[in-house]
Structure 1
Amino acid sequence: MARHMVRLEITDVRPSVLGDPLLDITLADGGDDDRPPPAARRIWETWYRGHPSTPNQWASLDTQGRTQWLNLTRRHPGGPDSSGGTHHLAGRFITDLPGLYCALGEALVGPGFNIGRGWDDLKDCLRGQRGIVGPFTLVWHDADIARRALGSLDGPGRSSISFEKVLQLLERHRVNVVLD
């Protein structure tokens, strides 16, 4: 699934109670900035049962949980680049930026895969660096929910990603977007 380094510190070394030449060593947690937060436990348990084959298993997670989902799925890129066809985007779950990237990843490359965790990753994906290139059709279901959520993220000191900006990017990369 993934690897995380655990930093341990030796806090004590003494002759072993089992005798020479053994030593008893006491270790302490040295901390780790890369360690997954407790919110990731549910995600890891889901993935431990196997690669997700049903969509939207990330949808009930909060923003931090969705970010952790993206962190885990980045280790599982999609297959070879494809083009054409019709893809369906579950817009009702796009209530934050991680939700946008989770939903797009599933719509474009399948459950448990992702197209990245940010705007530049999305552009790379649409250029054929993560599983799909235009032309293709994207049916964006419940687009009004995503439009409202992404609109509330736009503004001073907030994300500069808006619903319209996402649509423009998709159309620039020969994606026929059908708003549903």
Structure 2
Amino acid sequence: MRTSGQGGAGKKYALTSDEADSDFWGFAHEAEGIFTPRPDEREEGGARRVRLEGCLPQGGLLKSLDHVGGRRARAGNAWLTLLDGDGVTMGSYFVGEVTVVDVEPSPDAAGLVDLTVTLWCADALPGSERVWDLVRTGHLNRTGMWHDLAPADRHAWLSVALWSRGYRHRERPDAPAGQMFTLDGRHIVDEDSFYCAIGEAVNGPGGYFGWNLDALDDCLRGGWGATTPFTLRWNSSADARARLAERLPVSNRETTVFDLILEILEERGVSVILH
């Protein structure tokens, strides 16, 4: 995870060139629009129009300001870093083709500007901003906070759980082999809610332990909070089985999502107790 230096009060974002860590583009108080796809998007929801508020441009971003409206207004590709209140990196998104389209003085402070840029970012999902704010303020601290989310917001929840994991669980080792984790199946209504539930079971509130079947398999290989072999006590499993009934092709057969999850868990050394 890239770190763009230390921020200060109110600095929630930082930009650093993808070409060189030494090419720091500056901090911003806000990045309004980064989680909002443009209505005229053409690339799977990645096109964004972002207003960087309270910015002191540096490096390659500063060079582009004199060329607004021209080809050289394109600063290039960068990493947009999200900062906590102490300026520590919480997570980063790759942003492509950052192009300055407008610049004006910022009301935040003398000498700062508000930049409007266009860029492309596939990973900053709508609904993520609220979750990042919970991480930033330390309020992602209770189990079940995802229970009432809409399906799209559950996927956004999982994305923040993934991108913020290194920050939230830094220097915390995996649980040793032989542990028992309890999975609450009452709120598992689809595949995403299963990943929300198992992430919470293994890593606590807002925890991550995969957000698709391949990622689940990767997490079971170690380095993501748990060491196999371990035991998973799956409560209310009958309800989850009924809701994870979508059939998937696997090799020369079909099976349900629920049964495929069980296969992956058991193949990686997890003893599943269904209740």
TM-score, structure 2 as length reference: 0.52
Q: How does 1:54-73 map to 2 (within 5 A)?
A: 54-73=142-161
Q: What is the identity, as a one-letter code, of the residue corresponding to 2:207?
A: F
What is the CA distance between 1:76 and its match in structure 2?
A: 1.0
Aligned: 1:80 with 2:181: no
Identity of aligned residues (%): 33
Write 1 or 2 for the structure with the bigger share of helix: 1
| 1:50 CA displacement | 0.7
1:166 matches 2:261? yes
Partner of 1:104: 198
| 1:4-153 alignment, distance < 5 Å | 4=93, 5=95, 7-11=98-102, 27-34=115-122, 36-50=124-138, 52-74=140-162, 75-77=164-166, 78=169, 79-81=172-174, 82-151=176-245, 153=246
Residue identity opposite 2:91 in structure 1: A
Structure 1: 5+ residue runs without aligned partners? 17-24
Whether the aligned pair in 1 keeps the contact of 2:266 and 2:272 (CA below 8 Å) is: yes
Match of 1:2 among 85, 91, 109: 91
AA in 1 matched with 2:183: L
Which residue is 2:55 aligned to?
none
Q: Is the 8 A contact 2:248 2:257 kept in 1?
A: no
| More strand, by proportion | 2
Residues 90-111 of structure 1: per-residue CA shift (max 9 Å, x gap): 1112212221111111112222
Q: Is the 8 A contact 1:109 1:131 kept in 2?
A: yes
1:179 to 1:33, Cα distance in 2 relative to 1, 3 A: same
Choose 38-47 or 78-87, whichever is displaced more: 38-47
| Larger RCO, structure (CA 8 Å, separation 6 or more) | 1
53-62 or 28-37, which deviates more = 28-37
Cα distance between partner residues in 1 of 2:103 and 2:143: 49
Report how many residues are paired: 166
Q: In the superposition, relative to structure 1, how do residues 34 and 84 fare at CA in structure 2: closer, same or farther (>3 Å)? A: same
3-state SS, counterpart of residue 127 of structure 2? helix
Instruction: Spell out structure 1 runs of 4+ moving beyond 4 A.
Output: none
Q: 1:109-157 deviations in whole A, cap 9, x for unaligned?
A: 2222202222121112112131212222211111122111210x3358x
Q: One-letter code of the match for 2:132?
A: W
Q: 1:11 to 1:85 in 2, by over 3 A?
A: closer
Cα distance between partner residues in 1 of 2:143 and 2:225: 17
* Cα distance change, pair 86–35 in 1 and its aligned pair in 2 (3 A): closer
Out of 93-102 and 78-87, give the one that drifted further: 78-87
